[in-house]
Structures are given as structure tokens and as C-alpha cells.
Structure 1
Amino acid sequence: MADLAEMPGVRGKLTPDAPLAPLVWFKAGGRADWLFEPKDADDLAEFLRALDPAMPVMGLGLGSNLIVRDGGVRGVVVRLAKPMGAIEAIDETTLRCGGGASGIAVSSAARDAGIAGLEFLRGIPGTVGGFVRMNGGAYGREVADVLVSAEIVLRSGERRTLACSELGYSYRHSELPEQAIVVAATLRGTPGDKTAIQAEMDRIAEAREATQPLRTKTGGSTFKNPDGDKAWRLVDDAGCRGLTIGGAQVSEKHCNFLINTGDASSTEIEALGEEVRRRVKDKAGVELHWEIQRVGDRA
């Protein structure tokens, strides 16, 4: 592991051999060679410019849709913490949101500003940086519907602003460069009534609580919905509801969720997902594709 302790000009927090399990929802997985929490976008850009170009870089938000494999992550994991989560209203329908801001914070700020159309972000358990990258969505809407532009820092340290049309969005996918970090996004809604906006946010929160295993160690929706079908239905029809491998289990409440029932390893969680994929393929002839991102080395 390269020694970055003497990196010049670093203003944020740089931690060697950092455990990642506490930072992801599954509470499982290995360590990062280095964890960098930049103070601001300039700090991140300067850090990446000075970093050996051969050193891998990966962004991390809330870790809500992520399996960190047990062998850990080589290179640098960049985590945009609270200092990079500021949200400001630009005009009566537009917010500029830091990459570290959560979906809940963004939807709440939109409500306070009387901006409708961003309520669905209340149902996305991630940060702006993550859901802009993967075109996150919930309750019939997705980021591509509301994104004006994204501010990114490339692996080289170069800063760019890309219009929504330049991101190559498709279902739960973008064409953002692999190691680029989304540091801010401009989102646009429509003028709305604050009471009505809050009512819609409450409806979304109640629906999530009623249907999803939110009070467990989980990773959100595991598989993308195939065209014309629902992943949970295919998983259920294949007899996988409640299926376990070690400490990993297919949720009985919502079987497109995997949960860590106690001390599951990431190896067990990923193996369970692959077993579900195999059974669905055998039963329905449909190949499910992972929505959860899987990163790092196997143990």
C-alpha cells in the first residue's frame, strides 16, 4: 500500500487502512487502503491532481446500495461527508445540492422552498453523488427527470459541469467516467404547495416503512426490474423468499432485499444474491441484473 501520509496540501481527513463495514448499510466487508474525506470540492480536486495516476479511486456516499467485498478496496475511497452536503435554492424551482447531501435532506429543502417534484428523493436512501451516478429512482420518478446538471471531479483532478443530456442516462445507469466523483448537482422541480409536498413525502415514507425491511442491515433493492416485470415477483416465484446462506437472508418482507441477520460476511451476501439469480433463471428463464454495486477484492 502506497504511503499517502505526506500528500501535500490535504485539508480534509485522510485515513489509512480504514474499515468500511461501519460506513455501509450491510455492516459487512473489508477495509480501504485509504479513506479520504475532502473538506470541499477544491480540496478533492487538488488531492486527485497530486495522486499517482495509477492509484484507483472510488466514491462512497451513504453505502446504502453497496456490497464491499471482504478483501477490501484497493486505492483510495472518497467519502463526501457533511461538509459537502450543503443545499441552496437558486430560484423558485431550482436547488443546488452538494454531493454529500442525502435524498431526505434534498426533498426536505425542496419542501421548505415550495418546490414540488422532488418528493421521490425522500424514498432514495443515498446521497446526491450516488443517485446522480446511477440515475436513482423511486415511486415512478428518477433523477433524469429532475437533473439540470452535475458538477464532477475527474480522476485527473479536472472539474467539469455536465448537462443532464451528457450523462447518457438509462435505467439505473449513467455514462459518467468510472472514477469521477459527483460533487454537486442542480435539480429542478415545479412551484408547489408546502403542505401538499409534505403530504406526498409522508406517503412515500409510510409506503417504504410498510413494504421494505428498513430496520435491518440491508442494501436496498438488490436487482433491477426486468422489462415488463418486477424483480421481487420473480424472486418470490422462484421460492427464494426467506432463503439463507450463512447470516445472509432474502427478506421475507420484500424479497428484492437481502439482509444481514447478524454477522453475515459480504461473501455470504453476494453468494446469496448469485443463488437467487440462478434460481430465477432456472424457474423463469429471466436473468436478473444486480442493482446493488459490488466493489473490492474477494477474501
Structure 2
Amino acid sequence: MNKLIDQLPKVRGQYYGDTSLAPLTWFKVGGPAEVLYYPADEKDLICFLANKPNGVPVTVIGLGSNLLVRSGGLDGVVIRLRKPFAKITINDDKIIAGAGALDVTVAAKAQKAGLGGLEFLSGIPGSIGGALRMNAGAYGKEVCDALISAQVLDPVGNVYIISSEDMGFSYRNSKLPVDWIVIQATFQAKPGVEAKNIAKRMRKIQSVRNSTQPYHARTCGSTFTNPSGDKAWNLINKAGCCGLRIGNAMVSELHCNFLLNIGNATSDDIERLGEEVRFRVKETSGFELDWEIHRIGKIVNVREET
């Protein structure tokens, strides 16, 4: 039987077979992609989608800041959007950012142009594509508060422009189908704001973030979404999970809604730790925490608690 990589259409980008995804995630754990594909540009990606064999699974990843890849890895093609998809342009009071642009870079670009309203992006790790898909937010604002529209591709490479309203945003979620790919986003900014005032706001966000969250550790940000009526970290703390460990996976003592890889933890260790936290919170408070971190790939020896 031919390998999948030999069955894929000719592209200008790069294919890599049986490639570990661990270096591409902030946890630095996880199994391999059957094929990893770096598109050369949008046209290259459209060509791939239009001509790939039917039935081949496709998974798009961004910066890996909110991603846990399981040890079993992923079948099919994993797509990562790099520099060709990271362009940022300014059109009057609008910011147009590629899906591969870093959230913090978009905020900085707006600041230099004296455009306010996007400072919150400086507090969100990751890239614009992932931020749109999960309606990322920080410090009182979410993507849905600033987004005008998104340019997306369907599974066969057709291009659509979707309004913010039609994205179906909710708390840390959107209704964009999982097999559609965000290519670009257009944001509404506030003109006439002094750049120094925007910079001051961004410095405050960074200061709060650095003092209250373990972002310099191998972590993927908030592990669980906040349930209605409470905060995930508060419930985790009440359940006695602060500092809890499984192998070299640990619940952060600085912010207990963060899981850490403090050594050579595996993705299985991290997921088991998360499920243990969910179990203890359910037992102590009755709340059932939902994962905010996206877990993808084949499960290996992980038992979900309910």
C-alpha cells in the first residue's frame, strides 16, 4: 500500500511524513502527524484542498498555545499556517490580519497606528485563526466584540466571507464547522487614540498576566472554561487540586486553572491530570468543568471521568 504522502497532490509548499507534533505545541508533548503540510500561500492551500483524495482527514493547527496532541498522533494531513498567512494590513480604522498572525502582533500593529480596541489581543497567546475559532478573550473583551468578518475555506477549497454575526459566537466557542479553515480576519478598531495610551493599557495587561499566570512555563493557558456562576480556578482550588501531580504533569500553584509540563510529562499524563481535576471538582462542588484546551489525536490509555 502506498503511503499517504505519495497520494497527495503536488503543491508548492512542503509535506513531511510521520512527523512529531510535540515541538509545535506549548506543552511540547504529543504524537506524530501522518503527514504535516506547510502551504506556500492561500492558492497553494486551495489547490491542496481541491485535489486531495476523498476521505483524507485534515486538521489545522496554529501556534499550539491551546492544544494537547495525544500520544497516538493524528491520521491524515495536519496543516500549519506559517509566515505566508501572517500578513497584517491597516485600512483606515480596520485591521486585516492573516490567520497565522500572532494575536500580540496584531495588537502591537494597531497600537503603533493609534488604533484602539484591540489591546485585549496582547493578553491572548496564539494566532488569529485559533482566536476566531474559539472566540478567545481576555480582560473583559472577546474576539466577537471586534470582528467584522472572516475569510474562510470550506473542505474543498471554496472561499467564503462570513460576518461576525454568522460565526455563531458564544463563550469560548463558535459555530464554524471543524473542517473549515480560517484564512483571514477583519477587525474594527477605534481611531484617534494616542499610541502611548494604548501602549500603557497593553503594558498593564502584560503585567497582570505575567504576575498571575505561569506563561513562561510549558503550559497551554486556561485548561477549563468558567462554568456559569463561578470561576474554574476557584472550584479547582476548593477541590484541593492546587499542586496536584501525575508524573511530571502538575496543576500550577500560581494559577490552578493551568496545567504544566514540569519535566518529561507525556500528553497522557497531562490529560489524565485534567480528568482527575474534573473528577475532584465534580465530587466537591457538583460543577462539571469543560475543557478549554483542544485535545486532538488518538487516545492512548486515558479514561474520561463523568
Under TM normalisation by the shorter chain, which class is it?
over 0.9
Preserved contact between residue 96 and residue 187 of structure 1 (Cα < 8 Å): yes
- 1:237 pairs with 2:238: yes
User: Structure 2: how far apart are the matches of 1:165 and 1:115?
Assistant: 23
Equivalent pair of 1:5/1:14 in contact (CA under 8 Å)? no
Contact 2:39–2:80 (CA under 8 A) maintained in structure 1: yes
Residue in 2 aligned with 1:31? 32
Name the TM-score, length of structure 1 as normaliser: 0.98
SS of the residue corresponding to residue 219 of structure 1 reads: strand
SS in 2 for 1:4: helix
Output the amino acid matched with 1:56.
P
The equivalent of 1:171 in structure 2 is 171
In the TM superposition, 1:1-299 aligns within 5 A as 2-5=3-6, 7-91=8-92, 93-191=93-191, 192-299=193-300
Aligned residues: 298
Contact kept in structure 2, 1:151 and 1:185, CA below 8 Å: yes
| Alignment partners' CA distance in 1, 2:159 and 2:10 | 18
1:4 shift after superposition: 2.6
**2: distance between equivalents of 1:8 and 1:243?**
47
- Aligned to 2:224, the other structure's residue is in SS state coil
Task: Report the alpha carbon displacement of residue 30 of structure 1 after superposing the two structures with TM.
Answer: 0.2
Contact 1:219–1:258 (8 Å) recurs in 2: yes
Distance (Å, rounded) in 1 between the aligned partners of 2:256 and 2:50:
43
1:113 Cα offset (Å): 1.5
Query: Secondary structure, in 3 states, of the residue corresponding to 1:116?
Result: coil
Q: Contact (CA 8 Å) 2:4, 2:76: kept in 1 or not?
A: no
Q: Distance in 2 between matches of 1:68 and 1:97?
A: 26
How far apart are 1:6 and its partner, in Å? 6.0
Per the alignment, in what secondary structure is the counterpart of residue 5 of structure 2? coil
Matched AA of 2:261: N
User: Partners of 1:109 and 1:4 in 2: how far apart?
Assistant: 38
Larger displacement relative to structure 2 (3-12 or 262-271): 3-12
Using the TM superposition, give the Cα deviation of residue 2 of structure 1 relative to its aligned residue in structure 2, in angstroms: 4.0
The letter for the 1-side match of 2:141 is: R
3-state secondary structure, aligned to 2:4: coil
Asked whether the 8 Å contact 2:65–2:126 carries over to 1, the reply is yes
Q: For 2:178 and 2:210, how far apart are their aligned partners in 1?
A: 33
Cα distance in structure 1, aligned partners of 2:223 and 2:27: 12
Quote the sequence identity (%). 49
- Spell out, residue by residue over 1:120-153, the C-alpha distance to the aligned partner (whole angstroms, 9 max, x if none): 0001101011000010000010000000011111
Distance 2:183 2:35 in 1: 19
In 2, the alpha carbon distance for the partners of 1:116 and 1:6 equals 48
What is the Cα-based RMSD across aligned positions, in Å? 1.1
In 2, are the aligned partners of 1:36 and 1:78 still within 8 Å (CA)? yes
Q: C-alpha separation between the residues in 2 aligned to 1:2 and 1:161? A: 35
Partner deviation per Cα, 1:3-42 (whole Å, 9 max, x = no partner) = 3346444011111111100000000010001111111111
Q: Is the 8 A contact 1:134 1:173 kept in 2?
A: yes
Q: The residue matched to 1:115 in structure 2 has which SS?
A: coil
CA contact (8 A) 1:53 1:156 kept: no
- Residues 7 and 53, structure 2, Cα contact 8 Å, conserved in 1: no
Deviations 1:79-130 (A, max 9, x none): 0111210000011x21110010001110011111111010000011010110
Give per-residue Cα distances to partners, 1:36-74, cap 9 Å, x unaligned: 111111111110111123011111111001110000011
Return the alpha-carbon distance in structure 1 between the equivalents of residues 6 and 104 of structure 2. 35
CA distance in 1, matches of 2:131, 2:276: 27
How far 1:157 sits from its partner (Å)?
Answer: 1.2
